[in-house]
Amino acid sequence: MTSESGRRAVEEISFGQRIADTLHLVQATLPVQRRMVHAGDAIYQVGQDFGSLYVVNSGLVKMVNLSSEGREQVVALHFRGDWLGLDGIASGHYGCDAIAMDTGEVWSFRYEDLLQAALRTPALLSALHQAMSRQLARDHESLQSLCALPADARVAGFLHYWAEAMEKRGLRTDQISLRMTRAEIGNYLGMTLETVSRALSRMARGDVIRFLEKGRRDIHIPRVDALTAFMRQVTAPVETPHAVMSGH
């Protein structure tokens, strides 16, 4: 094991342990309502009065808004340990639809109960602040990606983000099952379905990813760092003949 892979392994264990610790803390100190959800189930809807926060215990959740044309726009993805509904704290209303992407379990608890419990258990407030910080950092990274990266790099970055999220939670990354159609991925990344398909095909031809036989949503990633290398390759500046001549 290299020093880099060793460092990442320690970080993953630390992140996974923090998730487990937070879930245990929430369960031990708050009156939690558990809800089993299935693909397509609405956890809450845009405009609904804010009153509760939610934590994903298992499964995947997407946040959806309506575009100015009335089309669904996927604006965020959430995995195990992520908190939902934070945008409602300031406005008093949820700003997006929260939709389950597969079978899972979501916990909910009243925000007022959280504040009261935090007086007795300050670690709860710390957990809330960490959740807010992670979401802000993720939104910032997503905005940078959409603004700066070419299409192929955006799709590779999306797969890397998904695999990294699985890895941090102690799940396998060499084989991931995307819970999104090509159109939904394009919607999330700000590109067409055809552009997403072409980018995935190019990665498959370069053996960066492989499609499994049982369906093209099931993707084999031999090496996650190959996605990073692919992103560097497609974002590297192309030398023009003039630049090459100037170098001589």
3-state SS string for 131-171: HHHHHHHHHHHHHHHHHHCCHHHHHHHHHHHHHHHHHHCCC
3-state secondary structure of 5: helix
Co-location of 203 and 90 in the same domain: no
pLDDT above 90 covers a percentage of the chain that reads 54
Mean pLDDT, all residues of the chain: 86
> Which of 127, 148, 169 is a domain's end point?
148
Co-location of 29 and 135 in the same domain: yes
Does 248 have pLDDT greater than 50?
Answer: no
Give the separation between CA 89 and CA 111, rounded to whole angstroms. 8
Co-location of 65 and 185 in the same domain: no
Co-location of 47 and 103 in the same domain: yes
Q: Chain-centre distance of CA 155, in angstroms?
A: 13
**Cβ–Cβ contacts within 10 Å for residue 228, how many?**
14
Co-location of 181 and 130 in the same domain: no
Co-location of 77 and 172 in the same domain: no
- Is 84:108 a contact under the CB 8 Å cutoff? no
> Which of 106, 125, 148 is a domain's end point?
148
**Cβ–Cβ contacts within 10 Å for residue 8, how many?**
16
Give the separation between CA 182 and CA 196, rounded to whole angstroms. 6
Please write down the long-range contacts of 225-229, taking CB distance under 8 Å and 24 or more positions apart. 227/156, 227/157, 227/159, 227/160, 227/163, 227/203, 228/160
User: Which structure tokens are listed for 44?
Assistant: 């809450």
Query: Whole domain around residue 74: which residue ranges?
Result: 1-148
User: Which structure tokens are listed for 183?
Assistant: 């159109």
pLDDT in tens, 117-171: 999 999 999 999 998 898 888 776 766 666 678 899 999 999 998 888 888 888 8
CA angle 142, 143, 145 (to 5 degrees): 65
**Mean pLDDT throughout 201-220?**
85
Number of domains in the chain: 2
Co-location of 26 and 47 in the same domain: yes
Q: State phi, psi for 121 to the nearest 5 degrees.
A: -130, 85
Co-location of 184 and 69 in the same domain: no
CATH number for 35: 2.60.120.10
Co-location of 42 and 141 in the same domain: yes
Give the separation between CA 204 and CA 200, rounded to whole angstroms. 6
Maximum mean pLDDT: which of 47-56, 188-197, 211-220, 224-233: 47-56
Co-location of 128 and 167 in the same domain: no
pTM assigned to the model: 0.83
pLDDT in tens, 11-39: 555 888 889 999 999 999 999 999 999 99
Which distant-in-sequence residues (6+ apart) come within 8 Å of 121 by Cβ? 25, 29
> Which of 148, 178, 197 is a domain's end point?
148
The residue behind tokens 């405009």 is 47
Co-location of 7 and 65 in the same domain: yes
Co-location of 99 and 189 in the same domain: no
CATH number for 226: 1.10.10.10
